[in-house]
Each structure stands twice: as structure tokens, then as C-alpha cells.
Amino acid sequence: MSYTALARKWRPKRFEELTGQEHVLQALSNALATNRVHHAFLFTGTRGVGKTTIARILAKCLNCEVSAGPAPCGECATCREVDEGRFVDLIEVDAASRTKVDDTRELLENVQYAPTRGRYKVYLIDEVHMLSAHSFNALLKTLEEPPPHVKFLLATTDPQKLPVTVLSRCLQFNLKRLSVPLISARIKTILGAEGIAFDDAAVQLVAEAADGSMRDGLSLLDQLLAFGGGKVAEDEARAMLATVDRRQVARLAGLLAEGDPAPLLDYAKSLEEWSPDHGEVLDALATLLVRVALRQALPAYEGDDLYPSTLLADLAARITPEDVQLYYQTAILGRRDLAWAPDARSGFEMTLLRMLAFRPGPVASAAAPAAPVAAAAGPAGAGAVAGGGAKARPVVARSTLDDWSATLAQLEIGGAVRQLASHCAYAGRDGAVVRLSLDPAQQTLRTTALVEKLAQALTRHLGETVKVEIGIAQSEPDTPARAQDRDAEARLAAARRSLEEDPTVRAFRDKFGATIKPDSIRPT
């Protein structure tokens, strides 16, 4: 009994049937509709995203006996023969098995002859990057000046290995990896057409395991149908893909939310009954935590076929956003480090303990004694929040700005903002307004954005909201930048004196007439 794999049976035969890659299809459809079809196309992308499928549909469009545009009829002899892989004017070559220059020359010997049946002779070269350097040289001349009846369709998963001379002669289209929802929707459409019942969660698992490849997704679906005896059920999908049950992952997340290590470790040990892949468990836990974080950031997020909205809402309410981020980071780092653990189980348990060990401690209550810095503020108490409370900011003593160079060294700024501040001198303060004087030679630095960023940095430094006003100095002010220049000049002068007074240098000057190049001296 013959059986056609789903990936072959449901291979798209028209552009409209393709999933994703709209950016490629639009360009090709427009080119066909306006009869502006280039002589060489290069399709790149990972496996199973539609490179050779698009190339075959394009060959069908070029040679269809009924329609010469982007919509081949699919019924004429040419269309049927292309679909069946026996159209005489579509020459398909697997470059991986024909890498020698002699193979390429033999292939190109017939390029000059007109097509046997179609309007164009189409050369489809798959995995073209596998050709040898000599093969590329043999192909190059024909690729540059092909006969008008020839089209080249090249496909590769590794375009970096193609010579630039070949790339420059082709129209290149980069095919995207397909998203999980796209693969899932296509699988459901095929299962519906085949009359096969399915669990949404099972389809979701297969789509995620496909890793962006539609062909891999359909191959896994074929495997699942064989494994499950014609059923597409979640339990069979998890068993085939060796993935942990989502209920177990949800239970782990719930125990993490409780924060008690004893029941968490007890449950982790109970998982040994199913001989789990501990790396897969951590992957699944990280996947769930991503969805919880999405629910916290986007309350309208409804989850997916694996984790329903009710579960995500419960976990989002029980685990703080900070803990979600901590657990996620710990899970992916623990997954990476499993190979270095004494054994996978102990590495898994240590990762769970690490999640709880590094949780932020409780916030001090408002009744706790004030820190010394708050007491030092005295009656001024700028920044204190009336009524106290756990969220009240600590009172910070007002800092002086008289030593502007010292203040600048403590500010958390860089780039153009630091450059602006270093060319300013402190001119005084009027309540919440800090006044600075800018070196006239640096007026272009005084932009609204940079002044605002400097004000924000001073606000963080002082612990109170301040505004910055920068005026242009009438003369050259004593700025940190000028002080730095003076210091650099002083160090350079000291280095030159030290070198001139060095006994060895003096000996060279006296005996050999050596001279010192001042510009070559740098202080250390």
C-alpha cells in the first residue's frame, strides 16, 4: 500500500496556498504581472520554509499553457508535469551531489538550446552553496549573460558561502522562519481536510517542535499519527516529543509561588517516576514563565492552547513580576549548566533552590528606625513623604554642588551629557533650580535633550527634583574640562622634564647627538 507523506501531499501548488513569505510572493507576483522577470533568482532561508516550493511555482507560472501571469491554471499538461516533477524544461539539480566542475559544464552545455515544450528553460539548483569554486566559475559567465529563454532559480540555506560575484547577479529573497501560530494554523487546516480529530495542545506542541520549518512540522505530524495510531492527542505528542506534562510544569510554578522549598523538592523528586529530561523540564518552566510575564505586562493576553488564561491569571497574581524575571533567568542559566552538574537531577534541584534563595527580601516597615542619613537631614527633610508607609522614599541629606568637579565624577552620565557638564561651571542654586555657566566655545552642546538628561542625573544624585538652567559665560569659566586639560599639560611637562633629566638620555645626547621629539612623549 502506497502512502504519500503529508509534506508532499500538501505541498503548495499556487502562491495563494503558501503560508507566510508574503514579502517574497508580492515581489514575484508583481514581476510576473508586469512581465519584468529577472533571469536569476536566489532564495535563501532555513530548511523547510518554502525555497524550492516557491521556485517550482515560479517555474509553473513562467510556462503555464493557459496563463503567463502569477496565477497558473494548475490543469494544463505543463502545470501537472511540474507538480509531478517530470516537466522536461524544468531541470532540477542537487548541488550537494554534483559539486564537480565537470558536472556543471555538462549541465550548461544545453543552455544555448531552446526549450523543448515551454516558453522558458528553468534551471533549479538546490543547495547551490555546495558547488566548488571551479563550478561557480563555470556557472558565472552563463549567469551573467544567459540566453533569453533561460531562467536560473537558486536555493540555499547558507548564502554566506556563495561568491559575491554570484550574489551580485541574482535577485536575492530571504525567506523567514515560520511562526508557531502559522504552522499551527496550517496543521489544523490539513487535519480538518483529512478528517482527523486533534487536540489543540498536541498541534501546539508539534508546531513548537517544528522550529520554524513547515516541512519539519508536517513530518512530525506524520510521525505523531503513526505513534498515536492515527490520533493527534496531547499525551501521545508529549510522549513522542519527550516533553514534560504541562500540569507538572504548572504545579512546579505554583510551588515556586508558595516559596516553601520542602514541598517543591518533594514534588521535584516525584517527577523521577516518569524519568524526565530535566533540561526539558526547565525549558518548559521557562516557557510558562514567559507567558506569565506577558499576562502581567499585558492583562488582555489570553494565553494559548498549552496554558489557558485562568492558569496564567492565577500565577500572575501569586508571583511578583520581579520573581517571574528571576525564576526565568535562573531556569535558562540552570538549563545551560546542567552539563556541569554532578548529575542532571541534582542540577535540577539546585536550580529550583537557587530560585528561592535569591528572592528579594521583605521591605522594611515604616515603623523601623530611620537610617543615619535620614536623621542627618534634620528639619529640612526634603523629599520625605507625609505619613510614612513602606513605599516612602528615604530622606536624603541635601548635597552641595560647590565642588562641581567632584559632583561630576559621581553623576551617572556619559557621552554627550558628560561632555556638556564638563564644559560647565557651577554658578549657584536657587531652590530647585541649579544654575550652570557654559564655556562659550561649547555652545552647540546646550540642547534641550542633553540639559534634561543632566537634570535627571542631578535629581538622582541629590534625591530631590531639580531643574537645570545653563547660561553662556561672558568669559572662559573654570570648568572641569579646563581643569583636566591643565592637569594633562602639567603631567606632560613633568614627563618631558623627567625624560630630559634621565642620565641615560643625557648620555645618548652627549655621545651620539641624539635629540628628543617632544610630540612623542606621553605621561604614564
Same domain, 331 and 471: no
Single-letter amino acid, residue 154: L
Q: What percent of the chain has pLDDT over 70?
A: 91
* CATH number of the structural domain spanning residue 305: 1.20.272.10
Q: Is the pLDDT of residue 1 over 60?
A: no
State which of 241, 270, 286 marks the end of a domain: 241
The domain total for the chain is 5
8 A C-beta contact, residue 446 and residue 420 = yes
Q: What is the pLDDT at residue 476? A: 86
The angle at the Cα of 272, spanning 270 to 273, to the nearest 5 degrees, equals 80
Q: What is the pLDDT at residue 398? A: 57
Residue from 25, 13, 4, 125 nearest 78 by CA: 13
Single-letter amino acid, residue 119: R
Same domain, 122 and 230: no
pLDDT in tens, 242-296: 777 788 899 999 999 998 899 999 999 988 877 788 998 999 999 999 999 999 9
* CATH number of the structural domain spanning residue 74: 3.40.50.300
User: Which residues are CB-contacts of 366 (< 8 A; sequence separation ≥ 6)?
Assistant: 388, 389, 390, 392
Residue from 151, 204, 146 nearest 38 by CA: 151
Q: What is the pLDDT at residue 496? A: 84
Rounded mean pLDDT, 426-437: 91
Same domain, 48 and 131: yes
- pLDDT averaged over the chain? 85
Q: How many CB atoms lie within 10 A of CB 464?
A: 16
Q: Which residues pair with 92 in a beta bridge?
A: 124
CA distance 179 to 176: 9
Torsion angle (degrees, nearest 10) of CA 296, 298, 301, 304: -60
Q: Are strands 150-156 and 121-126 parallel, antiparallel or unpaired?
A: parallel
Question: Could you tell me the pLDDT band of residue 63, with boundaries at 50, 70 and 90?
Answer: very high
Same domain, 169 and 234: no
Q: What is the pLDDT at residue 523? A: 73
Same domain, 105 and 146: yes
Q: Is the pLDDT of residue 394 over 70?
A: no
Q: What is the pLDDT at residue 469? A: 94
Question: Does residue 343 lie in a domain region?
Answer: yes
- Which H/E stretch holds residue 125? strand 121-126
Give the dihedral sign, CA 91/95/96/101.
positive
Q: Is the pLDDT of residue 368 over 70?
A: no
Rounded mean pLDDT, 95-119: 82
Question: Does residue 282 lie in a domain region?
Answer: yes
Same domain, 333 and 468: no
Question: Does residue 398 lie in a domain region?
Answer: no
Same domain, 160 and 187: no
Question: Does residue 427 lie in a domain region?
Answer: yes
Q: What is the pLDDT at residue 293? A: 94
Question: Could you tell me the pLDDT band of residue 88, with boundaries at 50, 70 and 90?
Answer: very high
Rounded mean pLDDT, 308-312: 88
CA distance 65 to 73: 8
- The pTM of the whole model exceeds 0.75: no
Same domain, 488 and 451: no
Rounded mean pLDDT, 316-339: 92
Distances (CA, A) of 323 to 232, 320, 327: 36, 5, 6
What phi and psi, each to the nearest 5 degrees, are found at residue 468? Answer: -110, 130
Question: Does residue 390 lie in a domain region?
Answer: no
State which of 322, 337, 357 marks the end of a domain: 357
Distances (CA, A) of 265 to 246, 361, 431, 481: 18, 21, 57, 59
Q: What is the pLDDT at residue 302? A: 84
- Which H/E stretch holds residue 206? helix 200-209
Residue from 111, 14, 97, 105 nearest 59 by CA: 14
Same domain, 148 and 261: no
| Full domain range(s) for residue 512 | 482-520
pLDDT in tens, 13-58: 999 898 888 999 999 999 999 989 999 999 999 999 999 999 999 9
Q: What is the pLDDT at residue 502? A: 83
8 A C-beta contact, residue 424 and residue 416 = no
What angle do helix axes 261-270 and 246-258 make, rounded to 10 degrees?
160
Q: What percent of the chain has pLDDT over 90?
A: 48
Q: Is the pLDDT of residue 383 over 50?
A: no
Q: Is the pLDDT of residue 359 over 70?
A: no
Same domain, 159 and 295: no
Question: Does residue 217 lie in a domain region?
Answer: yes
State which of 158, 174, 190 marks the end of a domain: 174
Same domain, 155 and 60: yes
Q: How many CB atoms lie within 10 A of CB 477?
A: 20
* CATH number of the structural domain spanning residue 203: 1.10.8.60
Q: Is the pLDDT of residue 370 over 60?
A: no
Same domain, 17 and 154: yes
Q: Is the pLDDT of residue 347 over 50?
A: yes
Q: What is the pLDDT at residue 51? A: 93
Q: Is the pLDDT of residue 397 over 70?
A: no
Question: Does residue 373 lie in a domain region?
Answer: no
Q: What share of the chain is helix, strand, coil (3-state, %, to 5)?
A: 55, 10, 35
Q: What is the pLDDT at residue 186? A: 94
Question: Could you tell me the pLDDT band of residue 509, with boundaries at 50, 70 and 90?
Answer: confident
* CATH number of the structural domain spanning residue 438: 3.30.300.150
CA distance 100 to 154: 17
Question: Does residue 399 lie in a domain region?
Answer: no
CA distance 309 to 292: 10
CA–centroid distance for 421 within its chain: 35
CA distance 494 to 488: 10
